[in-house]
Structure 1
């Protein structure tokens, strides 16, 4: 799992244990709907990545069902079936449906909002199945039915919920007012103007009421949405007169459909576009057909392609849906487009479906004078007869019988290519195994099976929302008590006896820290693939001995105690790098902690080495921390003697901890800088 997925799991588990928020500040900040949905599953499964992945699967299935239902009402069953088939077997939908990320909630909830809005527009007008007119003729009582209001209110509820899913929802809602405007201007009486206005008003009113708490919270907490500020940089540049960044991003984004896709291993086979060559051609043909359906006024010509009048607003909505869903990557560029363009995913395969169905009907009409669409089945009130029955398959020319088979071959091939690219090529790529913490998960499972008690685990991401979050969803043995540190700059030696130390290949212990592992015994090496990039993972048994250092004792409140230090040299020349190792006994957790080592000169700092490789919020009382500091003597440093001082502070407020003697630092020794 990636750390983003693990963070969702961590937040969901916090919700299970009582946390409640309208907006979570993890990472760059995120909307909460996905986490609350995951929490419902975790309440039964416990903190597992399976619960998060199942949440994505359920939203993905909901997306397919909602898109099928809307497409059937707008364009008929053949288009709906082909669209659903593409969403079921396409690479991008499969990837999104298997990742434990909140982005999948947006297209699913928005597709439902569109479905209910569409149903509200045509609830009484053309039967119980909507605009296509495939259902039964309405009852005389239906005009007084409250169903349209319920549909519009439900659409508003769902539209409001989209703002709790993912950032692009803030532009997606514009599709519904635009559809209403289209119906009023170009709908030619398909829906009564009063219903259009009333339906839009009710939908937006409910959506505003649902979304208001979130936006009020964000307005009262400015600065939470760091991601938006970061992604909107091209727009700010354009507002200042520099269009180059926006134009470059837009050009790169337009290549995503069929030329070159997202190059991020985490979400894609680097460079794989949304659509392959065949689907790509059908997609562009479908775009042309949709544009023609939305703009043309000739109803007879539309029916020759196999579409009824309601296909015109459906085509307009699909085009706008695609544009609004794709708009974020036009601003930000192709990077991370597999998530940022997720709003456009439901209609991606609608356009190839339009091309296939229209092409089939054109061929069929030319060869037989007939066409096959859902709209030809119209059942009377008594349901006793049908008009314009479908031509019997056995009477069709041989060439037309194979056209549906050709469509089946297209989608079967798509499924086969997706299976190869996702389950074979992408899933087994070494870079993907790194991104999805495969080695760390293997190490944690090793601890589950063989570990007990204290275990110090080295990782390049020891912070709370990274490897510890992965551990929450992986470790099951409560007897395992992990500690986290980055072995490239620090070392944690648990105070408990018979503890373990795990060192993966990505965090080799630097030379200055290796002497403190003299008493460690190599007991195992995890079996990994030959091409894994972070191998090997070595497991050491520790003897619990306190490392020997130059003693220098000082206690900083109730959190940490300085034991001593080792310095590579006490004399240096300008340009030299001094290596300092400080040893600390941890007493209690200290969130946002950092250590500092300073060479102080007259009125200024000569050299600074701040940092901490073992996050303070995870400190365990009794453990020993060894921290590596590298101090570079400036090239223009004047000769002289400079005190070397160390201390502790918290990053969020830059407050230094005081020693028991009332000082905010401890003088270790004096470093002499000599002439070159």
Structure 2
């Protein structure tokens, strides 16, 4: 912070090219497939989208009280994005991607100001490729704004400290005040500024600080005033969320505050290389901030800062990282990669300093030094890409980002005009704000008929198509009555979902659709009890098959049956999907004589599907006796106890 400008000369043309490449890399890693990686739209992201809609409806505020309360800056920016790109996943996440990309330049400017262009350039690259900031830049959450605002405020503060001009101090204060509109971890920064100020006073900078601190405080106060007034009027919202997660809460420390504090301290220190956040939404489980390629540069950077701790810049990095780590130490689930975001971008400078030392190491030729640094950065980039691609494609990631709710919203948007669309209020209740908020944000629900089974459903108009979205674990006995006049009922299980505290995934919804019966060339007759009107087999991927089955019941005088669906190879049964005809959500007592139901099942194979060696068979059996129904011709000739669907 005290280094003269002459030591911060600009990089060469090649250096500027490297910086431009770092920015381009940051943009690519943050924007590529942004709407789908990670899959779904988690409820915290969706609430930001809903509040953005309120802003667009003329309801801005300095604090949004829903969903445990949130600062407004991200939501205001999201409102602009939604106005431009509509009610989409991309619109909610694009603000984070842009903020994370622009922070690359802010990190460079701060690094240039503190340590020179070489460290600034390396820090920009590390910000661009490190998985934690990349991931935060791909979530529609306000956390990513905090590193950006802190980098801006500290850079402006450094310039103000050097130039000692009121306008720079005012700008730095305004930027710092803006940070209080980003994320609640900013509340730890007054302690950081006090300690850093005490350090500068100890270093004999009283006169310089005295001339500027007043202007800095004025800039902060003016910016912070609207939010401060809100908190004065609503003091319960100031510390409400903090009290819920603090280790001072007996529900969190379980009566052992000091033991919890000690444990959280070590766990938080381990986030740099040993073990990071284990919450899958925040991080590939357990992945630390820096990969193993950055271990040596990080250690070298720590050593450099400790050896030069009297330099304000080195002291600032150490103090910033240490104090802001307290946010996650003093809260549950340490290390928590959202609450700990305040250590960024300071922590990024540590390995950047180590890389810069390697770049200047006199015992190696210049080309070797540069090549070594380039290889470490490239290797770290490849590790981040590998880990994030794998992370985004994990089934658990889709579950925790509530991809099933996003799929339901997408299906609602595809409903044909004129269809009577019914949606259980279990999925979203506007009055209580309970359910899956991604549904009302992503879907247009103006023409949707909301219902609760216990309150009854209004009937559709005669001949009107029906599409019903039901909670599969509620009362479903109204379904056959609502669809009594349908020629055919199509039953579709929704995508799997699982809450944070739920052990097993389950279909989020069941969709029942009225449809017309299609002509069947030659239905398969199961003992004059059921007809298999038609079927279709779709290869979803190398080891997953989707099988559509259309059943018609032709008698009322038959006990409940189970329809088996078997996939076999030369050695026998490989996998199966057994359920009543019509599926597990078309109950046997719902069947009426002559009724047609179209169901869908998936077969997951232990090996890639090969029609040359794999066969698929279907049949019916009595679950009490295991006796199978024969397949017969029209003349009564028995063809077997099942039917081969493929090959």
Fold agreement, TM-score > 0.5: yes
1:23 equivalenced with 2:63 (yes/no): yes
Work out which of the residue numbers 69, 72, 76 in structure 2 matches 1:32: 72
Q: 2:512 — aligned with what? A: 540
Greater Cα offset, 167-176 or 20-29: 167-176
The corresponding residue for 2:368 is 402
Q: Is residue 2:328 matched to residue 1:348?
A: no
1:65 aligns with 2:29: no
What is the CA–CA distance in structure 1 between the aligned matches of 2:425 and 2:263, rounded to whole Å? Answer: 37
CA distance in 2, matches of 1:316, 1:195: 18
Between stretches 87-96 and 425-434, larger displacement belongs to 425-434
CA 1:47–1:446: 2 relative to 1, 3 Å: closer
* Cα RMSD (Å): 3.2
- Among candidates 168, 180, 188, match of residue 151 of structure 1: 168
Deviations 1:530-549 (A, max 9, x none): 99944486421369xxxxxx
The yes-or-no answer on 1:170 pairing with 2:173 is no
- Matched residue SS, 1:40: helix
Match of 1:613 in 2: none
Tell me how far apart the structure 1 counterparts of residues 246 and 508 of structure 2 sit (CA, whole Å). 41
Change (3 A) 1:533 1:234: same
The question of 1:74 aligning with 2:114 is answered: yes
* 2:457 matched residue in structure 1: 493
| 8 A Cα contact 1:24 1:31, kept in partner | yes
Report the alpha carbon displacement of residue 516 of structure 1 after superposing the two structures with TM: 5.8
- Is 2:41 the counterpart of 1:42? no
Counterpart in 2 of 1:428?
Answer: 393
Match of 2:384 among 411, 418, 425: 418
- The Cα shift of 1:467 comes to 5.2
Give the match's secondary structure for 1:338.
Answer: coil
How big is the shift at 1:431?
1.6
Q: What is the Cα deviation at residue 447 of structure 1? A: 2.6
* Residues 228 and 527 (structure 1), Cα distance of their counterparts in 2 relative to 1, 3 Å cut: closer
Could you say what secondary structure the match of 1:207 adopts? helix
Match of 1:216 in 2: 229
C-alpha distance in 2 between matches for 1:111 and 1:492: 56
Q: Separation in 2 of the partners of 1:210 and 1:230?
A: 28
Q: 1:417-496 counterparts in 2 under 5 A?
A: 417-423=383-389, 425-452=390-417, 453-458=419-424, 461-464=427-430, 465=433, 469-475=437-443, 480-481=447-448, 483=450, 493-496=457-460
Contact 1:9 1:47 in 2 (8 A): yes
Do the aligned partners of 1:254 and 1:330 also contact (CA within 8 Å) in 2? no
In structure 1, runs of 5+ residues without a counterpart are 125-147, 296-311, 368-396, 544-676
Q: 1:461 to 1:203 in 2, by over 3 A?
A: farther
TM-score of the pair, normalised by structure 2: 0.65
Deviations 1:423-482 (A, max 9, x none): 2x1111112112222222223222322343442335865344565631344235x77526
Once residues 456 and 124 of structure 2 are traced to their aligned partners in structure 1, the CA distance between those partners, rounded to angstroms, is 53
d(CA) in 1 for partners of 2:180 and 2:475? 47
Aligned-pair CA distance for 1:495: 4.1
CA-to-partner distance for each residue in 1:637-672, whole Å, 9 max, x for gaps? Answer: xxxxxxxxxxxxxxxxxxxxxxxxxxxxxxxxxxxx
Instruction: Quote the residue 1:250 is aligned against.
Output: 265
SS in 1 for 2:428: coil
Q: Which moved more, 1:452-461 or 1:91-100?
A: 452-461
**Which is worse superposed, 165-174 or 435-444?**
435-444
Structure 2's unaligned 5+ residue stretches are 1-40, 499-503, 516-647
Contact 1:458-1:484 within 8 A present in 2 as well:
yes
Deviations 1:334-366 (A, max 9, x none): 4571111111121222111111212332x31xx
TM-score by length of 1: 0.62
* Alignment match of 1:85 (pick from 115, 125, 140): 125
Residue 525 of structure 1 is matched in structure 2 by 492
Maintained 8 Å contact 1:456/1:492: no
d(CA) in 1 for partners of 2:81 and 2:489?
A: 40
In the alignment of these two chains, the number of paired residues is 460
